[in-house]
Structure 1
Amino acid sequence: MGKWLRRALFAFAVLFFGWTFLNASWLAPEPVGKPGLVAHRAAGEPIGTCTPAPGAARYPVLPDNSLAAIATARQLGASMIAIEVAPDGTIAPARCTDSFGAAPTLSQIAQVAKPKALLFTFAKGSDAAAADRLVAKLKAIGRDPVAAGDAFYAADEARDGVIARMRALLPQAWVFSAASARTCRDAYRKSGWTGVLPDECKGGTMMIPIDAQGSLAGWPNRLLQRMKDGGGRVIMVGPSATAGEVDGDPAGLTLPEQFGEIPASFNGLIWVDDLWNLGPSLYPRVDNRSRAEQDAGEAAMKARRAGQR
């Protein structure tokens, strides 16, 4: 073996081990805290109805913008509850119109959800004026979204206008879109191995599908530390298959066993589409469902698993 070849191999070995230590998750500080659940949206498949029979599973209507759904989401372990904002910036009425509090005011929502944070989700067709109206309503009820830990979210780039306006109105608040979260993830996938957090992620949000964790350098502890140091947040979402997306909005977790695919040290947020079943599975002490409701929920889980085979 020639001298230059030996030197080249030695240099490669040094670079390789340097890269390994730079991105070694086990060498990063252990993340502090536990993950939080985002009551993102109701499960997509037609299980259950707005007016279920006694004992039937009610979870498909969570979250639903009704006071009943918000109260249940709070009780079943959600740390953040999605609230749909209509295109004109007002609170959208609940889909299940017979629910208690089906047309709530923002003040009622804030009171019932307390002390949980709210994820204000702008509907399709929202423009910059919707942001102005929502901020005015928040000021009118005396709610500080920064202090409350609230977030403002839009699913796709078509709604970036309302997101840009919200950032201008509340520069210290958590404002993001699914599109910007994907941009952060893609940028990190390309350059994260260097140990440098890309600009797209600084102060931003990264959404990570549970089946795409292995492609991110330093996952989980090193990545979580880099995002924290850069003022960013990490949200775990459902599988990356687009079948679960609705208008660019990524799907959340729908089965309790999916929690097992998330590292134990993960302390970010988990996007959940079925809080009725998944909340109690992660936090059993919050389960206040009746025995009949628990049985109905488990039956629904079995049907969902069978449908995914």
Structure 2
Amino acid sequence: MRFSRRQTVVILLIAAMLFGFTLFQASWLADKPTGRPKLVADRAAEPVRDAAGCVASANSGYGGSDFGPDIAALQAAAGSGASAIRVITKVTGGVLRVAPQFESDCPADKARAPATIGDVLSGLTRPEIFWQIKGEAAVRQLVAALPTPSTDTPGQHIIVGDTAATNYLRGLGPSHQVFSVSNARKCASEYRVSGLWGSVPESCKNGTMLLTLDDLGFTLWGWPNRFLARMREANVRLIIAEDVVDGQIKGLTEVNQYGDIANSYNGYIWVDKIEELGPALRR
């Protein structure tokens, strides 16, 4: 089949454009990022129980101080390789508390007083904490309890809130690190368009992008190294999870899912079974 001169020129122009676009998004043109991924434990570790099903021990090998079974279960998660831990909060009797970290039919466990925000701060001194919270009244109590944000410890306390909580915190200024799941997913969605020309959307800058395993690949423009360089320049916190279901983050559950993530990735990975997935990544 012969092409006319005009057809040949058009074909060459299209080929040149495709080549230029591919080169523009080429991962290998960016340096490999430094650092390792950070694991976020979606929940506390399952505690040790006695023959009756009651929590038998608060010894976690992490802290050495006994703050009660809920904090011990969080300490055990930290000791399993978590760089950060999600702590779900709830308001009980008008006071902000830590939601129970495990289920138990044991009367003694059911009768225990909920852990306080102060218990978490005293018992978890090393990992970062993702505080999940709802409502302006609740987040006011949380902010009052947390230490003053410091540039010496960036990312130590990250708040995952609903609309009311995030709007209140943003009104306080940029000192508190906060995001909502919906906005973090919006950031990922908008990058699918703006990333075509290498731009990071405004919804992402100085914020959070939440990706699922299905999002990864060549349509995540510049993935991995070029993409990571763009996010670093825009100060975007990156989180990869297995999925987002009904507005809730679903962490990785299988060790082989790590294979879906590029080995140069150095952001957060949200995991469900930290006791299994934590040691597996750190080998």
Superposition pairs of residues 207-246 of structure 1, within 5 angstroms: 207-214=210-217, 215-238=219-242, 240=243, 245=245
For structure 1, list consecutive stretches of 5 or more residues without a partner in the other structure: 59-63, 285-309
One-letter amino acid of the structure 2 residue matched with residue 24 of structure 1: A
Superposition pairs of residues 129-144 of structure 1, within 5 angstroms: 129-138=137-146, 142-144=147-149
Could you list the per-position Cα deviations for residues 141-160 of structure 1 after superposition, in whole angstroms to 9, with x for gaps in the alignment? x3536625221103xxxx21
Moved over 6 A (4+): none
**Does the C-alpha gap of structure 1 residues 129 and 165 become closer, same or farther in structure 2, counting only changes over 3 Å?**
same
Report what 1:304 is aligned to: none
In structure 2, distance between residues paired with 1:89 and 1:148? 27
**Does the C-alpha gap of structure 1 residues 108 and 95 become closer, same or farther in structure 2, counting only changes over 3 Å?**
closer
Q: 1:94 aligns with which of 96, 100, 105?
A: 100
In structure 2, distance between residues paired with 1:65 and 1:177? 29
Deviation at 1:251, TM superposition (A): 0.7
- Could you tell which deviates more after superposition, 90-99 or 161-170? 90-99
Deviation at 1:220, TM superposition (A): 1.0
TM-score of the two chains, using structure 2 as the length reference: 0.81
Please tell me whether the aligned partners of residues 93 and 102 of structure 1 are also in contact (alpha carbons under 8 angstroms). Answer: no
Report what 1:84 is aligned to: 88
Please tell me whether the aligned partners of residues 98 and 116 of structure 2 are also in contact (alpha carbons under 8 angstroms). Answer: no
Report what 1:265 is aligned to: 264
Report what 1:27 is aligned to: 29
Report what 1:118 is aligned to: 129
Are 1:277 and 2:276 matched, yes or no? yes
**Does the C-alpha gap of structure 1 residues 202 and 111 become closer, same or farther in structure 2, counting only changes over 3 Å?**
same
Deviation at 1:130, TM superposition (A): 1.8
Q: 1:187 aligns with which of 187, 190, 202?
A: 190
Please tell me whether the aligned partners of residues 83 and 91 of structure 1 are also in contact (alpha carbons under 8 angstroms). Answer: no
In structure 1, distance between residues paired with 2:174 and 2:234? 16
Please tell me whether the aligned partners of residues 235 and 268 of structure 1 are also in contact (alpha carbons under 8 angstroms). Answer: yes
Q: Secondary structure at the match of 1:13?
A: helix
One-letter amino acid of the structure 1 residue matched with residue 202 of structure 2: D
In structure 1, distance between residues paired with 2:95 and 2:191? 33
**Does the C-alpha gap of structure 1 residues 11 and 4 become closer, same or farther in structure 2, counting only changes over 3 Å?**
same
Are 1:172 and 2:175 matched, yes or no? yes
Q: Secondary structure at the match of 1:200?
A: coil
Higher strand share goes to which structure? 2
In structure 1, distance between residues paired with 2:211 and 2:37? 14
In structure 2, distance between residues paired with 1:86 and 1:170? 24
Could you list the per-position Cα deviations for residues 242-280 of structure 1 after superposition, in whole angstroms to 9, with x for gaps in the alignment? 6xx2x4112110111111221110100000111111111
In structure 2, distance between residues paired with 1:37 and 1:129? 30
Q: What's the RMSD between the two structures over aligned residues?
A: 2.8
Q: Secondary structure at the match of 2:120?
A: helix
**Does the C-alpha gap of structure 1 residues 263 and 187 become closer, same or farther in structure 2, counting only changes over 3 Å?**
same
In structure 2, distance between residues paired with 1:102 and 1:276? 26
Rg larger for: 2
- Report how many aligned residue pairs link the two structures: 257
Report what 2:199 is aligned to: 196
Please tell me whether the aligned partners of residues 65 and 94 of structure 1 are also in contact (alpha carbons under 8 angstroms). Answer: no
**Does the C-alpha gap of structure 1 residues 95 and 108 become closer, same or farther in structure 2, counting only changes over 3 Å?**
closer
Deviation at 1:71, TM superposition (A): 1.0
Residue identity (%): 34
Please tell me whether the aligned partners of residues 42 and 273 of structure 1 are also in contact (alpha carbons under 8 angstroms). Answer: no
Higher helix share goes to which structure? 1
**Does the C-alpha gap of structure 1 residues 27 and 84 become closer, same or farther in structure 2, counting only changes over 3 Å?**
same
Q: Secondary structure at the match of 1:91?
A: strand
TM-score of the two chains, using structure 1 as the length reference: 0.75
Please tell me whether the aligned partners of residues 205 and 232 of structure 1 are also in contact (alpha carbons under 8 angstroms). Answer: yes
Superposition pairs of residues 283-294 of structure 1, within 5 angstroms: 283-284=282-283
Report what 1:14 is aligned to: 16
Report what 1:296 is aligned to: none
Deviation at 1:20, TM superposition (A): 0.7
